[in-house]
Amino acid sequence: MDLLHQLGFTDWPVLWAGLIKPMLRLVFFIAAGLMLGNIIEALNWTHGVARIAAPLVRMGHLRDISGASFSMAFFSTITANTMLAGSYEKGEISRRELVFANLFNSTPAFFLHLPSMFFMAVPFIGDAAFTYVGLVLAAAILRTLGTVAAGRIMLPPLPEGCITCRLEEERSNSWKDALRKSWRRFRQRLPRILYITMPVYLLMYVMNKTGGFDSLQAMMEGRVGVLNFLNPAGISVVLMHLAAEFAAALAAAGQLLHAGTLTARDVVMTLLVGNILSSPMRAFRHQFPSYAGIFKPRLALFLIAFNQVLRAASIALMAALYYWWTA
Question: Angle, to 10 degrees, between the axis of helix 212-220 and the axis of helix 235-243?
Answer: 90
Report pLDDT for 3: 47
Say how far residue 297 (Cα) sits from the centre of its chain: 25
Q: Collapsing DSSP states into helix, strand and coil, what is residue 30?
A: helix
Report pLDDT for 107: 76
Report pLDDT for 135: 94
Amino acid at 143: R
302/299 Cα distance (integer angstroms): 5
123/130 Cα distance (integer angstroms): 11
Q: Are 303 and 282 in contact (CB under 8 A)?
A: no
Report pLDDT for 221: 46
140/111 Cα distance (integer angstroms): 9
DSSP code string of 167-218: HHHHS-SSHHHHHHHHHHHHHHHHHHHHHHHHHHHHHHHHHHHTTHHHHHHH
250 closest CA partner among 321, 305, 200:
200
- From first to last of the 327 residues of the chain, give the pLDDT tens digit: 454 555 555 566 767 776 777 778 777 777 776 777 667 667 766 555 556 567 777 788 777 677 777 777 777 777 778 778 877 887 878 888 889 888 888 777 777 778 888 888 888 888 899 999 999 989 988 888 888 888 888 887 765 554 444 445 545 557 778 788 878 878 877 787 677 667 767 776 777 667 665 565 555 444 555 566 677 777 778 777 776 677 778 888 888 888 888 889 999 999 998 888 877 777 776 677 667 777 877 888 899 888 888 988 999 999 999 999 987
Report pLDDT for 320: 93
**pTM above 0.75?**
no
131/133 Cα distance (integer angstroms): 6
2/9 Cα distance (integer angstroms): 10
131/109 Cα distance (integer angstroms): 20
- Residue-level length of the chain: 327
Q: Are 253 and 267 in contact (CB under 8 A)?
A: yes
148/60 Cα distance (integer angstroms): 4
55/160 Cα distance (integer angstroms): 12
327/318 Cα distance (integer angstroms): 14
Amino acid at 276: I
Buried b (16+ CB within 10 A) or exposed e, 82-98: bbbbebbeeeebeeebb
Alpha helices, DSSP H, located in the chain: 2-7, 12-15, 21-42, 47-59, 64-72, 77-89, 95-125, 128-154, 167-170, 175-209, 212-220, 235-243, 246-259, 264-294, 297-326
152/112 Cα distance (integer angstroms): 25
Question: Residue 320 class from Cβ within 10 Å (0-12 exposed, 13-18 middle, 19+ buried)?
Answer: exposed
| Residue 75 backbone dihedrals phi, psi, to 5 degrees | -120, -35
61 closest CA partner among 183, 136, 161:
161
Nearby residues of 87 by Cβ (< 8 Å), 6 or more positions away: 63, 65, 93
